[in-house]
Amino acid sequence: GSHILSVNQLDLDAINTIFNVAHKMTPYALREKRTKVLDGAILGNLFFEPSTRTRVSFGCAFNLLGGAVRETVGMGASSLSKGESLYDTARVLSTYSDVIAMRHPDAYSVEEFSKGSRVPVINGGDGSNEHPTQALLDLFTIQKELAHAGRDISGMHIALVGDLKYGRTVHSLSRLLCMYKDIQFTLISPSELAMPDYVIADIEKAGHKITITEQLEGNLNQADILYLTRIQEERFPSQEEANKYRGKFRLNHAIYTQHCKSNTVIMHPLPRDSREAANELDNDLNSHPSLAIFRQADNGLLIRMALFALTLGVENQLEKYECPVNW
């Protein structure tokens, strides 16, 4: 029943509970079964910044549990653009909703919004700060992918590549990984886009090993997980500034084959920048079995279904409200 604003609110027990419920969601996500457990409930889906996966998967996750979605997309569609505060917006919109998912370009804005909300608020990304539901789906994916190779999260080696300064997904994921043991981190970025010191401090405090480098090639041969990120151009002071870094790290089939272990799992939160100037993850890997990027997105639906069920306290009532699949 509480807000989900940061991965710092979670511990291993909470993560395992979320993952167990996510596994239970599989037949409903695949439309093999149908439940109306959230019949009558309303999700306020507030996206004040562009999104494809997070916005649609929050909405569909709620629909697949039988609930309805009321969406607000873009600052211009809201009276925030007339100077209304996040607090007042939350007071009003939470009257109409049972739970709210929100994305906003400013760090800590979702937390500020939550103070005015009478219902649970889930952070769908607040500026370059955090993206907790993405980190959960990333961790869930890592656990599943490594399990295929008989491996565990503890003891693994992860390489995080690209814009580690503005990339909120790597901030949240790194902190979740601090709950596990003996992880080796290789942080690959231009020095100007390095992982923030406060995240590095958390990783060091957890006792994990860190290698920091500006070179992609030559630093991938130990990685079990290779996690690429886009240059977050919308966070830079200017397009020219962002362009300095776009295209700096590119992974394609030839580089993967030459520099990675044969079963290194390739991840990316998406969107990947497919324009020629950037192209950090080439289409020539699209049918490679180690490319997990679309499995991440699939897992996002399960994780968000689980978070709604747990937040609204219906995780044990899915079967009770089952009904026939009509299509």
Q: Site residues (CB under 6 A) for ligand CP?
A: 51-55, 125, 134, 269-271
Q: Which residue, 74 or 271, is less far from ligand CP as judged by CB?
A: 271
Cβ 134 to ligand CP, closest distance in Å? 5
Q: Give the containing element (helix H, strand E) for 153.
A: none
The DSSP bridge pattern shows strands 68-73 and 42-47 to be parallel
Q: To which residue do tokens 């747990």 refer?
A: 310
Rounded Cα gap, residues 174 and 225, in angstroms:
13
Q: Which residue, 54 or 117, is less far from ligand CP as judged by CB?
A: 54
Cβ 172 to ligand CP, closest distance in Å? 11
Cβ 185 to ligand CP, closest distance in Å? 21
DSSP 8-state secondary structure symbol assigned to residue 192: G
Strands (E), the chain: 34-35, 42-47, 68-73, 99-104, 121-126, 157-161, 184-188, 209-213, 225-228, 265-267, 322-323
Rounded Cα gap, residues 327 and 325, in angstroms:
6
Cβ 19 to ligand CP, closest distance in Å? 19
Residue 316: count of CB within 10 angstroms of its CB: 11
Q: Which residue, 151 or 295, is less far from ligand CP as judged by CB?
A: 295
Q: Which residue is nearest to ligand CP (CB)?
A: 54
Q: Which residue, 93 or 135, is less far from ligand CP as judged by CB?
A: 135
Longest dimension (CA), the chain: 56
Rounded Cα gap, residues 231 and 228, in angstroms:
10
Cβ 325 to ligand CP, closest distance in Å? 28
Q: Which residue, 49 or 315, is less far from ligand CP as judged by CB?
A: 49
Q: Which residue, 6 or 54, is less far from ligand CP as judged by CB?
A: 54
Cβ 61 to ligand CP, closest distance in Å? 13
- Per the document, the length of the chain is 327
